[in-house]
Amino acid sequence: TTGTFSGILKTDDATDATSTTDGSLQTDGGLSVVKDIVAGDDILLLSDSSQLLFGADSEVALAHIPDKGLVLECGTVSAMPEFQLVNKNDDATGARLMFLKDPTSGHAQMADNDVLGVIDFLGEDDAGNMTIYGAIEAKATDVSNNSEDGRLTFTVLKNATATDYLLLDGTAGAVVVEAGVLAGPGAGDLVVASDGNMSFYIDYDENETGQSYKWYNHGGGGNADEIMGLDESGNLEFDGGIEVGG
């Protein structure tokens, strides 16, 4: 039986809905609404893999992954989906993306080297295997109150091996680029500046023997020519003359 009402259909019953069969307004089929939906409390999507679809063509979906989380996906538009955080307030602050690890809500505590968050960049290889090509990881290396330290690690694939190319370490105050090689832009200079004394260490953790410190000039011929070397005994060697001015 189909009924059509020209006025407001209203129920004064205040029963909460906790399932599909116990609310004040129930239907065994779908619910079609032309205008806005306003809810004064929670909205429950009780089925695994449920979705919220957006757009006239339902081209953007926020999909539930059971026991894992949510996925924002778009399969019909190029270079999408795009997720934006926009701050339209007239002030000096911007939008904020937060990764929060809060085990205290479960009556536990953080521990040294707990991972705070990871951003993975994935895509398929030419064999169809889903592959992580790059990642950014944040870690709490020291959670001691008033002396906390953190670490950011930037990892990319090199010859199918995940390699830490950049590490920002609050504990050691270190920056490591490409497994120990610190390099400047290809067309520019690498500048190391200090407002006071500056120290350079060879084998800082003292786990190697026969250390040396060398300077090279990479000319246009494709070869890197050694121009100066310093060995572990402090002997300094120059490939060329020494000119002293003043």
Provide the pLDDT for residue 108: 76
Provide the pLDDT for residue 179: 53
Is the four-CA dihedral 77, 80, 83, 89 of positive or negative sign?
negative
Provide the pLDDT for residue 174: 60
Provide the pLDDT for residue 172: 62
What would the DSSP string read from start to end of the chain? -----SS-------PPPSSTTSSSS--SS----SS----SS-----STT-EEEESTT--EEEEEETTTEEEEEESSSTT---------SSSS----------GGGGT----TTEEEEEEEEEEE-TTS-EEEEEEEEEEEEE--TTS-EEEEEEEEEETTEEEEEEEEETTTTEEEETTT-----TTS------SS-----SSTT---SS-EEEEEEE-TTS-EEEEEEEETT--EEESS------
Provide the pLDDT for residue 185: 44
Provide the pLDDT for residue 103: 84
pLDDT tens digits in sequence order for the chain, 246 residues long? 788 888 888 889 989 899 999 989 888 899 899 999 999 999 999 999 999 999 888 889 999 999 999 999 987 888 788 889 999 999 999 999 999 998 876 667 899 999 999 999 999 999 999 999 999 999 999 999 999 999 999 999 989 999 888 888 887 656 666 555 555 444 455 566 666 777 766 665 566 666 777 777 766 556 677 788 887 777 888 877 777 776
Q: Answer for the pair 42, 23: CB distance below 8 angstroms, yes or no.
A: no
Provide the pLDDT for residue 97: 93
Non-local (6+) Cβ contacts of 168 within 8 A are 151, 152, 153, 175
